[in-house]
Amino acid sequence: MSKAVTVSFEFFPPSDAAMADQLWSAVLRLAPLRPRFVSVTYGADGSTRSRTHDLVMRIRRETDLLVAPHLTCVGAPREEVIGIARDYWRCGVRHLVALRGDAPASDPAAPSTPGATPGTGAPGPKAPGSAGAGCRYQPHPGGFAFASDLVGGLKSAGEFEISVAAYPEGHPESGSVEADLANLKRKIDAGATRAITQFFFDPEVFLRYRDRCAASGVAASIVPGILPITRFPQMLRFAERCGASVPAWLRRRFEGLDEDPETRRMIAAHVAIEQVQLLRQHGVDEFHFYTLNRAELTYAICHALGLRPWVFEEAQVA
């Protein structure tokens, strides 16, 4: 029998009051689904950094959710990054998502790809697992160079549970599939226990990747990152930045819907539900959702996966 489904939700720190309201509604709507954890993305610049911290603290204060802040190597010496991790540990945070990050670009407030660095200009969500806005990544002279180094450093700061990023279609800067897998293995060997993937749309892409990870001796859960498509053009920008492929059948499904949000939402839900159900049939029991701070689609997909809101009174009676 297959195991029960568990989910996690990713949010990004809002940059203004309207976005903060939208984010908080999403948190409250999704919280009763009892995710294993929620994560909060991290930008390279100082303001985004403090917004990540503020959001993490608010979620801890006002909900009973377990929060995993993202941390990156970008723009800070090792001691500073370790200092942030130690602060989190003192505040009761026990899970971190450790990333290299990308070169910071123009607008620190804009969320990039789901799971991403700041810096695309327009306010709104960044691409999950963005490879940034085209600048070349340079490690900070006194900093951690790669995520595997960061994982090792964080482990020395506390016995954190650590999740890292993985790329079913390869990281844009990896020279080969083998180099990519070797890098993931380094991150796991350094102490990470979960790899959350970049978004993808073809379930086969994920399943082949999971097989390759197992064959390469990667001893960690490989958790598919699911991106519900809120706006198709935005998703195309994300995909271009992070090297995720967009199948022709997916383009056809969204054709002509730019001005038809209602149909678009239905199609988006259908696409993602199909995707998770197929993965489920192949034994996948953990999913990470790039919510882009919106609950509606993620909630519907979770419902289709069999998750139901947990109601305290009912639980007491049962």
Binding mask 55-74 for ligand FAD (x = CB under 6 A): ---------------x-x--
For the CB of residue 179, give the shortest distance to ligand FAD in the complex, in Å: 5
**Contact flag: residue 180 with ligand FAD (CB under 6 A):** yes
**Contact flag: residue 116 with ligand FAD (CB under 6 A):** yes
Total site size for ligand FAD, rule CB under 6 A: 29
**Contact flag: residue 146 with ligand FAD (CB under 6 A):** yes
Rule CB under 6 A: choose which of 174, 193, 234, 277 binds ligand FAD.
174
CB closer to ligand FAD out of 112 and 230: 112
**Contact flag: residue 23 with ligand FAD (CB under 6 A):** no
State the residue for tokens 């500073």: 80
Q: Which residue is nearest to ligand FAD (CB)?
A: 115
- For this structure, is 204 an active site residue? no
CB closer to ligand FAD out of 53 and 171: 171
Rule CB under 6 A: choose which of 14, 124, 129, 168 binds ligand FAD.
129
CA distance 74 to 45: 9
Rule CB under 6 A: choose which of 76, 81, 165, 279 binds ligand FAD.
165
**Contact flag: residue 130 with ligand FAD (CB under 6 A):** yes
- The span of 15-23, 92-100, 258-266, 268-276 binding ligand FAD (CB under 6 A) equals 92-100
**Contact flag: residue 225 with ligand FAD (CB under 6 A):** yes
- Active-site residue numbers? 10
Query: Which positions touch ligand FAD (CB under 6 A)?
Result: 41-42, 70, 72, 97, 99-102, 115-117, 129-131, 146-148, 165, 171, 173-174, 179-180, 183, 187, 196, 198, 225
